[in-house]
Amino acid sequence: MSKIKYIGLVVLTTFIMGIAFPVGKLGMAYAPPFFLMGIRFVLAGVLLALIISRKPRPRGGKQWLQVSIIGLFQSAGVMGCAYFSMRWITSGESSIITCTNPLLVIILGTLFTGAVYRGHQWIGVAIGFIGVVFTFGLHMDIQPGSFISFAGALFFAVSTLLVKRWGPAFDINVLAAYQMIAGGVALFILSALTEQPYFHMTFTSVSIVLWLAIMGSIVQFSLWYYLLRNGDPAKTSTFLFLVPLFGLLSSWLLLGEQVQWYVGVGGALICVGIVLVNWERRKRPGLLITKPLMKG
């Protein structure tokens, strides 16, 4: 994959991820978070499964288990935690914490896959995270939602590594479809146990769900898995630092929230972090894989 194509796809994917935060926040006026996300992922998964019905489904109990585990981490864990955390913290704060995923990917990748990253890549991740925090004006308070959102970031990091490890055995769209169904079912069960499920059906609420299902789920996951399969998961995940920036800008457009001067400074730091993590010297790889510890 050419660098231009890679950058274009990763920017598009992170933009879709970013705009999903304010759109999802709007959706929570019509349904509780777990139930809303359950509708989103089951609808998206079923639609995508119908579109790709001629492609081979997962084979055997092992592959179905792998798909289900990815769904529990990726769809149920990440987005369930992100939206549930908004009961205590803002959508901006939730996106900041969720997007600490790149740092966690490098840490977990180092511990469990034998990956070795250079010092400037670690520094790049740190600078990128500082940029994300700075973008939101350093106004974060520690709330229960902060810990819930961080759990979502951890789930995101684990699912990123699992997709990179198990993903090559699946068709990308097949994996995206069935992991969303698995995650959506888990969210429905969680909603039944912790919420009073309801959905106020209006033109606006249906439009929100359709956007989240089609653009925010089918398109987003298909592109995300394609990028993870064809690139380094740590480097790809680093671009997730753009998600809160896109989320803030889309919140300004959709919700009329004011954009402060520090957004520009934070955006510059984010760009510096991305460049450092993705910069490679000639004749030397940016990622060295030693003895793999994870087995599929």
pLDDT band, residue 296 (cuts 50/70/90)? very low
Question: Mean pLDDT lowest for which of 2-16, 29-43, 70-84, 92-106?
Answer: 92-106
Half-sphere exposure (CA, 13 Å, Cβ side) for 124? 25
Q: Is residue 55 predicted with pLDDT exceeding 80?
A: yes
Would you say 13 and 227 are in contact if contact means Cβ atoms under 8 Å apart? Answer: yes
Mean pLDDT of all residues belonging to the chain: 82
For residue range 255-295, list pLDDT tens digits in order.
Answer: 776 666 776 677 778 778 877 776 665 444 444 433 333 33
Residue 222 or 270, more confident = 222
Q: What is the pLDDT of residue 119?
A: 81
Give dist(CA 288, CA 296) in Å, integer: 20
Q: What is the pLDDT of residue 214?
A: 94
Q: What is the pLDDT of residue 293?
A: 35
pLDDT band, residue 39 (cuts 50/70/90)? very high
10 Å CB burial of residue 2 (0-12, 13-18, 19+) is: exposed
Q: What is the pLDDT of residue 265?
A: 78
Q: What is the pLDDT of residue 278?
A: 67
Give dist(CA 108, CA 111) in Å, integer: 5
Q: Is residue 244 predicted with pLDDT exceeding 80?
A: no
**Percent with pLDDT over 70 in the chain:** 88
pLDDT band, residue 69 (cuts 50/70/90)? very high
Most confident segment among 12-26, 200-214, 223-237, 267-281? 200-214
Residue 218 or 253, more confident = 218
Instruction: For helices 3-27 and 33-51, give the axis angle rounded to 10 degrees.
Output: 140
For residue range 127-177, list pLDDT tens digits in order.
Answer: 887 877 776 666 655 678 778 888 998 898 898 888 888 988 888 889 989
Most confident segment among 153-157, 181-185, 248-252, 275-279? 181-185
Q: What is the pLDDT of residue 139?
A: 60
Main-chain dihedrals φ then ψ at residue 28, nearest 5 degrees: -70, -5
For residue range 78-128, list pLDDT tens digits in order.
Answer: 988 988 888 887 777 777 778 777 777 777 877 777 777 778 878 888 888
